[in-house]
Amino acid sequence: MSKSIVLVSGGMDSLVCAGIAHEEGHELHFLHMDYGQKTSRRERKSFDDIADFYHVPQKHRKVIDMNFLRQIGGSSLTDESITVKNYAGDSDVIPDSYVPFRNTIILSLAVSWAEAMTANTLYIGANHEDSPGYPDCRPSYYEAFNKVIKEGTKAADIKVLTPVIHMKKKDIVLKGKELEVPFELSWSCYKSSSKACGKCDSCALRLRGFKEAGMIDPIDYL
Amino acid sequence: MSKSIVLVSGGMDSLVCAGIAHEEGHELHFLHMDYGQKTSRRERKSFDDIADFYHVPQKHRKVIDMNFLRQIGGSSLTDESITVKNYAGDSDVIPDSYVPFRNTIILSLAVSWAEAMTANTLYIGANHEDSPGYPDCRPSYYEAFNKVIKEGTKAADIKVLTPVIHMKKKDIVLKGKELEVPFELSWSCYKSSSKACGKCDSCALRLRGFKEAGMIDPIDYL
């Protein structure tokens, strides 16, 4: 049984990735990044709830404190002096919720863990179709990153997989339905931690995905 | 005056990189990683001494606490249950002081800072000739990483430079001499923090470099 790491933010895309990795029969290891975002605690709860759902033992869960990102700054998610703005959801503009090079930092840590415990696959719920503004959600970025893994590791047989990268949010919802993932345990809102705001970029994308899939989002909205 | 980040560990290779970046007339920004290694405090002192030497103001110095690497493990530098072993210095064996994918983690953070403050160049003292055992010291690794920067950043005009990658330690010493870098302020030893041990992998390489360059290493050894 091969080991696999799934980057589980607690959001819908990573939840569906977990469902895919589960279906493919890997020994699941869940990785969560707490980078001090405003909804950090709520996302952590979703991470644990999803891990419980897939029977991932505590020793296979890892939460990395990314608070050191605050020292770098440049993003509304980690810099409290910047307010999170709203976006239409599919703008070509790079949102100010962008943490410079964040995915590379996250992936590097994940690969380090993968190499330390000899996992071969790393699932990340990157999604290009609905996030054209994020440069590190592009398929070409992941191709380049996999080359870096090949060049920069001892084992060189670790691969980052992005199974939902080409899917529209609607298709992610439908894939999750097919795999019977627990959407009710996930969290996507950037702004609120009690009920989802329904208005931020992330909520807007999620709601549209459910709507287009003809499904009701089971989480509570304000 | 273009901004440049130099990754200054406090060792000889990064010192010479700082000298090169200084000579090329960049506005220098120094970055240091404190990842909880045994000689952490001593290396930090070298970092500050070298920054003072090159008149890098406090606001252009950044020290990132990398203690979270301990959560990942797999290296004698960060895992206290593993003792640092000695190496001949030019073995093809990957040393157990290897932190999985460490350079990628460091570079990712550096690129994040570079993007946040619009620096264009990033100097790192990676050295292939004397470290064939480290996969992420290979030139091909840096080519791949620069591709990731191009794909994964907004600005896409940040480039990692490795000016000493093809040099033997002897040539690094000679380059440093030419640039009049303050070798006496640098620190390379993995094991000791008062006087250098003279025996660890890093000391052995350094001493051989000075010897082959026909120079006396100005730091104290046990």
Sign for the CA dihedral angle at A103, A105, A109, A111 comes to positive
The single-letter code of the amino acid at B174 is L
The per-residue pLDDT for range B26-54, each reduced to its tens digit, is 999 999 998 777 888 999 999 999 999 99
Q: Rounded distance, CA B175 to CA B179, Å?
A: 6
Q: Rounded distance, CA B63 to CA A71, Å?
A: 9
Give B19's pLDDT tier (boundaries 50, 70, 90). Answer: very high
Residue A184 located in a structural domain: yes
- Cβ–Cβ contact B17 with A under 8 A: no
- Cβ–Cβ contact A108 with B under 8 A: yes
Q: Which residues pair with A5 in a beta bridge?
A: A29, A122
Helix (H, G, I), strand (E, B) or coil at A23: helix
The per-residue pLDDT for range A148-187, each reduced to its tens digit, is 999 988 776 899 999 999 999 999 999 999 999 999 999 9
- Cβ–Cβ contact B102 with A under 8 A: yes
Minimum-distance CB partner of B135 among A136, A144, A153: A153
Residue A150 located in a structural domain: yes
Residue A222 located in a structural domain: no
Question: Closest chain B residue to A103 measured between Cα atoms?
Answer: B152
pLDDT higher than threshold 80 for residue B155: no
The per-residue pLDDT for range B68-97, each reduced to its tens digit, is 677 675 444 444 444 444 433 433 444 444
Provide the 8-state DSSP code for B220: -
The per-residue pLDDT for range B158-213, each reduced to its tens digit, is 999 999 999 999 999 999 999 999 999 999 998 988 899 999 988 999 999 999 99
**pLDDT of amino acid A156:** 65
**Which chain B residues are within 8 Å of A71, Cβ to Cβ?**
62, 64
Cβ-based contacts under 8 A for chains A and B: 138
Q: Are B201 and B30 in contact (CB under 8 A)?
A: no
B153 vs A74: CB contact, 8 Å cut-off? no
- Strand runs labelled E in B35-169: 61-65, 121-123, 159-161
- Cβ–Cβ contact B101 with A under 8 A: yes
Tokens of B218: 């100005």
In this prediction, the residues of chain A whose per-residue pLDDT falls under 70 are 68, 71, 73-99, 130-131, 156
Report the number of distinct structural domains present in chain B.
1
Minimum-distance CB partner of B113 among A72, A147, A150: A72
Query: Is ipTM beyond 0.95?
Result: no
Q: Rounded distance, CA B221 to CA A126, Å?
A: 51
Tokens of B11: 């060792």
- Cβ–Cβ contact B215 with A under 8 A: no
Beta strands at B61-65 and B27-34: parallel, antiparallel or unpaired: parallel
Residue B125, burial from CB neighbour count under 10 angstroms (0-12, 13-18, 19+): buried
Residue A217 located in a structural domain: no
**pLDDT of amino acid A37:** 74
- Cβ–Cβ contact B158 with A under 8 A: no
**pLDDT of amino acid A69:** 75
Minimum-distance CB partner of A116 among B73, B136, B147: B73
Indicate which CATH number applies to the domain containing B80: 3.40.50.620
Q: Rounded distance, CA B163 to CA B26, Å?
A: 15
The per-residue pLDDT for range B83-137, each reduced to its tens digit, is 444 433 433 444 444 568 888 999 999 999 998 888 999 999 998 876 677 777 8
Domain encompassing residue A198 = 3-212
Q: Are A166 and B177 in contact (CB under 8 A)?
A: no
Q: Name, in order, each residue with C-beta under 8 angstroms of B57's C-beta and a sequence gap of 6 or more.
A: none
Provide the 8-state DSSP code for B184: G
**pLDDT of amino acid A75:** 42
Helix (H, G, I), strand (E, B) or coil at A83: coil
Question: Closest chain B residue to A104 measured between Cα atoms?
Answer: B108
Q: Are B168 and B209 in contact (CB under 8 A)?
A: yes
Q: Rounded distance, CA A133 to CA A152, Å?
A: 28
CB atoms closer than 10 angstroms to residue B80: 10
- Strand runs labelled E in chain A: 3-7, 27-34, 61-65, 121-123, 159-161
Residue A146 located in a structural domain: yes
**pLDDT of amino acid B156:** 65
- Cβ–Cβ contact A82 with B under 8 A: no
Beta strands at A159-161 and A27-34: parallel, antiparallel or unpaired: unpaired
Q: Name, in order, each residue with C-beta under 8 angstroms of A79's C-beta and a sequence gap of 6 or more.
A: A70, A73
Residue linked to tokens 């640092």: B84
Question: Closest chain A residue to B108 measured between Cα atoms?
Answer: A105
Q: Rounded distance, CA B31 to CA B48, Å?
A: 10
Nearest chain B CA: its distance from A219 CA (Å): 32
A112 vs B94: CB contact, 8 Å cut-off? no
* Distance between start and end Cα atoms, chain B: 43
A111 vs B101: CB contact, 8 Å cut-off? yes
Residue B24 located in a structural domain: yes
- Cβ–Cβ contact B71 with A under 8 A: yes
Residue B222 located in a structural domain: no
Q: Rounded distance, CA A101 to CA A152, Å?
A: 18
Nearest chain B CA: its distance from A173 CA (Å): 26
Provide the 8-state DSSP code for B196: B
For residue A148, CA distances in Å to A71, A142, A218, B107 come to: 26, 10, 39, 12
The arrangement of strands across the sheet holding A61-65 comes to A61-65, A27-34, A3-7, A121-123, A159-161
Residue B17 located in a structural domain: yes
Mean residue pLDDT across chain B: 86
Q: Rounded distance, CA A44 to CA A26, Å?
A: 23
**pLDDT of amino acid A129:** 74
